[in-house]
Structure 1
Amino acid sequence: MRRFAAPLALLLTSTACTTMEAAPAPVAAAADRMVSPILTSPEAVDTLTHAQPQVARVTHVALDLDLDFDAKRVGGTAELSVLAAPGAEEIVLDTNGLEIAQVTDGQGGALSHTVGEPVAEGGKGAPLTIRLDGAETLRIAYRAPADASALQWLSPEQTKGGVHPFLFSQGQAILNRSWIPTQDSPGIRQTWEARITAPAPLDVVMSGVRQGEPEDLGNGRRAFTFVMDKPVPPYLIAIAAGDIDFRAIGPRTGVWAEPATLDRAWREVNDTEEMVVAAEELYGEYRWGRYDMIVLPPAFPYGGMENPVMTFLTPTFIAGDRSNNGLVAHELAHSWSGNLVTNAVWGDSWLNEGVTTYFENRIVEAVYGKQRAEQEAALMFANIRETLAEVGEDAPGTALSTDGGYQLGSAIAYDKGAFFLRTVESVVGRERFDSWLRQWFDNHAFQPATSELFLADMMENLVQGEAEADALMLREWIFEPGLPANVAKPDPAAFAAVDAAVSAYAAEGTIPAGYAQWSSAERQRFLDNIPKQRTAEQLAALNEALGLSGTGNNEELFLWLELALANRYEPAVPQAEEFLAEVGRAKFVRPLFQVLWDQDEWGRPIAQRIYAETRDSYHAVTRGGVDRILGTEG
């Protein structure tokens, strides 16, 4: 990485998981805190931040915040440690809707500051420019807005318990600037600590290690203290608060959930300690201490979020048979790819997600066997093919590295990225590839990275000779659209029996007798590949024979509802309405509203009726996607 750093970057470089068992993290003195480098090469410039880290950057954030569930507001202070270049006069932070009351230096002296005009598009928000006057510490008194896009406040009725409210955050990609005033860019890593007060009897967890037991403040409130002593990208600062309990899995793993969900959640994730061991055997030490999880209420918009020491999970992955535990493997793998080594800009998000998806599949193989891993890889490959067929092989957004934006759907950043690494592995051999990837994590730990840096490291530490470089097609994989010709395709035998059953059903209407004994990946393959145009009679027969509407696996239930609604199957509407009222996961919600909207005069009134009832229950991430589908933005 030093080869890409300008002199100023060298100047700026210095030499969770709350559980009953967690030992407090040592609180480092300011002079001893780890400070990550800033990349200054052109491709590392983040256009989604107002910050100018080459002038002055944040290295540490100390939060002291109160949670107000009645007003749905977070407020208090943020104390920022600043590292500035010689002669720097000001620092620029990111905000989005924050109410700034006062800014002072470390001695309490007022510092002049201005909040600029907000950027309307993309959630970039407004710059907060603070005159430094030599200050190395800034203390910002502020309050987050009630509609902060990173935060979702749930009423008791939106929880399993139905008695207490709930709060959770979702910071990726640039949402945390709506509740924390800092430099909100993945390339500007920061250590942090927090003191959070909340009404009893609610518990608070964060993506940092809890320091001792909560403090009873004597006014019906308790204070919780957390520390993250390793520099992380600010989108990984996360919080959840509610009526939650903890249960241990292994010596360093456990799960939090609402009491009504905890038993099912614990049984579902009980392989987690085994997964951590498998991940370490593959790519080295787990460096975050504990690996805990919290299963949130179903309004959480994603399958999971890899917040350090406290992965956030949707309850929709719980199937009763651990068939969707690739999700847990994925979020665990982020502890290396994404959290340990992070994309410096969001146009390189495949460095997080593609590498993680490859790693996830290797964990699945180690814990659940090669057949399951190959089947799940085949589903990924089908996603890539489907996306490319829809948008075109030469669509710019199908390159892994894009100029300042996002890839066209998860099939590119996640699945194409994973198949890039599978292809490299197939060319150089697993042993040599694993050795290289382990050194990548070791040598770039707690640092940002770019696609150019990744490529340079491959050329220097992996590739042997020009012939191998030509065979790997590295630059084409990373910077060109489509799928390179050398792609290592999944084993066609992985789904041979299922694909034969699909053909038999398409040709003769033969419903597979062994469906109930198939793996979830096999059932998903079948449902996703049978003919899309079905009559009501055919759908009824399929549902009766396979029990599709009664499945406890939400991945399979979603595929059934999508098929049924696309064919205007009236008996599926009540179940779809119930599903969309209970689940806020964008992966399910957006496509179901899309398929209803695509049915014109039949589906649009149904979509509008359901959305009128459910919109306020969705996180801003999910709500924004459905707003665009239904044309109800704003």
Structure 2
Amino acid sequence: MASVVVALSCAVAVGAAGCTGDDRDGFRPGAADVGDPYVPGHGNGGYDVKNYKLDVRYDPATDRLTGRATITATTTQDLSRFDLDLAGLEVGAVTVDGTRARHRRDDRELVVTPTDGLPRGRPFTVVVDYAGVPTAVTDGELGSGGFLHTADGAVALGQPDSAATWFPVNDHPSDKASYELAVTVPDGISALSNGVPGPTSSADGWTTWRWSERTPMASYLSTLVIGDYRVVTSRHAGQPMVTAVAASLPVNGGAARSLARTGAIVDFLATRFGPYPFESYGGIVVADDRIRYALETQSRPVYGPAFFANDQPNSGVVAHELAHQWFGDSVSLSRWGDIWLNEGFATYAEWLWEEHDGGRTAQRTFELQYAATDWSQPSVEPGRERMFGTAVYKRGALAVHALRRTVGDDTFFRILRTWTTERAAGSATTPDFVALAERVAGRQLRPLFDAWLVGGAAPTLP
């Protein structure tokens, strides 16, 4: 009978002493892990984020960041408590709908218990004040990432790990949200991020830069680049374009010349994939050698310096990251095991761009890559240690071209444009793509995808 008495007490006063733990009159905690085996501990359940409003201040001299995150979300269950992902930083105060909430840390989890349970379907706002020295991710699948202190500022970047190193977040691409960012840094350096630039303002030796990404964005696609950059702001197709190159890199060098082709490459890709899905364009080239990759950070990809070695231009990597704006950013992953949906199509876009730019044809690239492929490695569910392996990129692109060869150009590009239109601003899986391709083509295609994506032997050429 004791358990019945406790339950009745909690029903009378949800949130009273002794009633702020787990189940409370049908209210229960949200999951502390979204359940994706490629990123254990990432993501949370019980709510769907609509918007992140981030107000941060960063001092490169001390490497200290202070921030306030205002997170607007809607519950997806009767919620007694919920988690946010946050690595390393200290939390001061947390409120839910303006009322102080209990909070505690559990490794990289921030566990928040509101005074009252939150009914399913209810919008709510949580405000988190936090501060500290942000941490890097030195063992990430791509290499160094997270929040990296640099000689002149910082770079927040990485896949799949980065966002939780500098703000509290539901850190999985299946929960996308819009973003507003105000970042305050010392006068004389830039603070660059995603989306449309807003007005800057200065006071007492500090400048606040403002950015807004209104189209839903996966958390790993957020970025913050602070330092000495040559920033060029222009317009393309009526929308803002912001490109930036680290000031330590050559003026009008290979990096700058490559970024200058952003508009032309986007326009070409739009003829193949459909209208560009965001409200701004651009790219950023950093000078930190720890960043040995390029990443499709939404609307403004970030490129490591090695892509422009010996000061040579590289429009291929620009085409790859810009293709991700459709495949990966607008249409995101529901689970990381389907990452070929991002990388296979972006790699294929490189083949298309090379052909368009007067180089080798996509068919010839397909033939060469087919002969060089290790067919024992699958593109779908490659395993966490191979999620950025050649099977994901190159074998994935082979499957895309095999689809094209099978259904013909008209149907193939109609499949791609239907995918980017119907799934825009959402998340999807491999079965979703196969089903859509079969619907548009009006024929069965699953055996084709099975052979080219997961079969253990070289498939028959179509």
TM-score by length of 1: 0.60
- The 1:270/1:350 distance shift into structure 2, 3 A limit, reads same
The residue number in structure 1 matching 2:347 is: 357
Task: Give the secondary-structure state (helix, strand or coil) at the position aligned to 1:115.
Answer: strand
Structure 1 match to 2:422: 443
Residue identity matched to 2:449: L
C-alpha deviation, 1:346, in angstroms: 1.3
In the superposition, relative to structure 1, how do residues 403 and 188 fare at CA in structure 2: closer, same or farther (>3 Å)? farther
Aligned partner of 1:474 among 443, 449, 452 = 449
Contact map agreement 1:58 1:183 (CA 8 A) in 2: yes
AA aligned opposite 1:485: P
Deviations 1:570-608 (Å, cap 9, x if unpaired)?
Answer: xxxxxxxxxxxxxxxxxxxxxxxxxxxxxxxxxxxxxxx
Residue number in structure 2 paired with 1:127: 109
- Matched with 1:151 is 147
Q: Deviations over 1:379-401 (max 9, x none)?
A: 6546x53xx3xxxx54xxx2222
In structure 2, what is the equivalent of residue 100 of structure 1? 91
Assess, with a 3 A threshold, how the Cα gap between structure 1 residues 169 and 77 changes in structure 2: closer, same or farther. Answer: same
Structure 1 residues 291 and 300: alpha-carbon distance in aligned structure 2, compared to 1, 3 A threshold? farther
Q: 2:227 aligns with which of 228, 231, 242?
A: 242
How many angstroms apart in 2 are the aligned matches of 1:321 and 1:70? 30
Q: Choose which of 332, 335, 353 in structure 1 pairs with 2:325.
A: 335
Tell me the residue number matched to 1:414.
393
1:263 counterpart letter in structure 2: N
- Please provide the CA RMSD for this pair: 2.6
Give distance in 2, aligned partners of 1:460 and 1:372: 29
Matched, 1:316 2:306: yes
Matched, 1:196 2:183: yes
Equivalent position amino acid for 1:153 in 2: H
* Counterpart secondary structure, 1:473: helix
SS where residue 244 of structure 2 aligns?
strand
Task: Say how many residue pairs are matched.
Answer: 409
State whether structure 2 residue 268 is matched by structure 1 residue 278. Answer: yes
1:235-289 per-residue CA deviation (whole Å, 9 max, x = no partner) reads 0110101111223676354531133534213323333222111111111111212
* 1:116-142 superposed Cα distances (whole Å, 9 cap, x missing partner): 2x3xxxxxxx32221232481111111
DSSP 3-state at the match of 1:310: coil
Q: What residue number does 1:182 align with? A: 169
1:453 counterpart = 2:432: yes
Counterpart secondary structure, 2:100: coil
C-alpha change, 1:453 and 1:407, in structure 2 (3 Å) is farther
Distance 1:89 1:49, change over 3 A: farther
8 A Cα contact 2:158 2:295, kept in partner: no
Ranges in structure 1 where 5+ consecutive residues have no aligned partner: 1-43, 119-125, 156-164, 489-634
Measured against aligned partners, the alpha-carbon deviations of 1:331-382 in whole angstroms (never above 9, x if no partner) come to: 110110010101111111111111111123213322x135265565566546
2:65 aligns to what? 74
Kindly, what percent of the aligned residue pairs are identical?
A: 24
Aligned to 1:369: 358
Of 118, 122, 125, 1:137 maps to 125
Cα pair 1:193 1:226 within 8 Å, conserved: yes
- CA distance in 1: counterparts of 2:366 and 2:309, whole angstroms: 20
Instruction: Give the letter aligned to residue 67 of structure 1.
Output: Y
Q: Could you say which structure has the higher helix fraction?
A: 1
Do the aligned partners of residues 346 and 353 (structure 1) sit closer, same or farther apart at CA in structure 2, a change above 3 Å counting? same
Cα distance in 2 between the residues matched to 1:62 and 1:145: 20
Do the aligned partners of 1:71 and 1:146 also contact (CA within 8 Å) in 2?
no
Question: Equivalent of 1:345, from 306, 331, 335?
Answer: 335
Task: Indicate conservation of the 8 Å contact 1:244/1:259, yes or no.
Answer: yes
Ranges in structure 2 where 5+ consecutive residues have no aligned partner: 1-33, 138-145
Separation of aligned partners in 2, 1:85 and 1:250:
40
Residue 487 and residue 338 in structure 1: after superposition, are their counterparts in 2 closer, same or farther (change >3 A)?
farther
2:92 and 2:421 mapped to 1: Cα distance? 42
Matched-pair contact (CA < 8 Å) for 2:262–2:282: no
CA contact (8 A) 2:378 2:391 kept: yes
Q: Who is 1:215 aligned against?
A: 201
**Alpha carbons of structure 1 residues 57 and 250: separation in structure 2 relative to 1, 3 Å:** closer
> One-letter code of the match for 2:147?
L
Matched ranges for 1:42-121 at <5 A:
45-47=35-37, 48=39, 50=41, 55-107=46-98, 109-116=99-106, 118=107
Instruction: Find the structure with the greater CA-based Rg.
Output: 1
**Residue 314 to residue 487, structure 1, CA distance change in 2 (3 Å):** farther
Q: Which segments of structure 1 move beyond 6 Å, counting only runs of 4 or more?
A: none
Higher percent of residues as strand:
2
CA shift in 2, pair 1:355/1:340, >3 Å: same
